[in-house]
Amino acid sequence: MPVTYELAHEAVVARLSTDGAAHCERVAEMAAEIASVYRVDPTGARLAGVLHDWHRETDVGELLRRAETGDVAITEIDRAVPYLLHGPVAAHDLALEYPDIGSDVLEAVAAHTCGAPVMSALSMTVYVADVIEPGRRYARASELRGVVGDVTLGELFARAYSASLRHLIETRRRLHPVTFEVYNLHVAGVRP
Ligand SMILES: [Fe+2]
Ligand SMILES: [Fe+2]
- Domains of the chain (ranges; CATH) run 5-187 (1.10.3210.10)
Nearest Cα residue to 126 out of 188, 40, 2, 55: 40
User: What's the pLDDT at 106?
Assistant: 98
3-state secondary structure of 120: coil
Rg of the chain, C-alpha, whole Å = 16
3-state secondary structure of 111: coil
User: What's the pLDDT at 108?
Assistant: 98
**Spacing, Cα 54 to ligand 1 middle (Å):** 8
User: What's the pLDDT at 1?
Assistant: 63
- Report DSSP state, residue 173: -
pLDDT above 90: percentage of residues in the chain: 95
pLDDT at 192 over 80: no
Bridge partners of residue 151, in order along the sequence: 148
Nearest Cα residue to 178 out of 90, 91, 116, 110: 116
**pLDDT tens-place string over residues 147-172:** 999 999 999 999 999 999 999 999 99
CB hemisphere CA count around 164 (13 angstroms)? 24
CB-based contacts of 130: which residues, under 8 Å, 6+ apart?
27, 49, 52, 112
**Spacing, Cα 62 to ligand 1 middle (Å):** 16
**Spacing, Cα 120 to ligand 1 middle (Å):** 18
**pLDDT tens-place string over residues 65-94:** 999 999 899 999 999 999 999 999 999 999
Nearest Cα residue to 128 out of 55, 57, 31: 31
**Spacing, Cα 80 to ligand 2 middle (Å):** 20
Query: Which of the four pLDDT bands, split at 50, 70 and 90, describes residue 2?
Result: confident
pTM above 0.85, yes or no: yes
**Spacing, Cα 161 to ligand 1 middle (Å):** 14
Q: Which ligand is nearest to the CA of 135?
A: 2
pLDDT at 190 over 80: no
Q: What is the mean pLDDT of the chain?
A: 96
Average pLDDT over residues 39-58: 98
Residue 110's CB is within 10 A of a number of other CB atoms, namely 24
User: What's the pLDDT at 189?
Assistant: 82
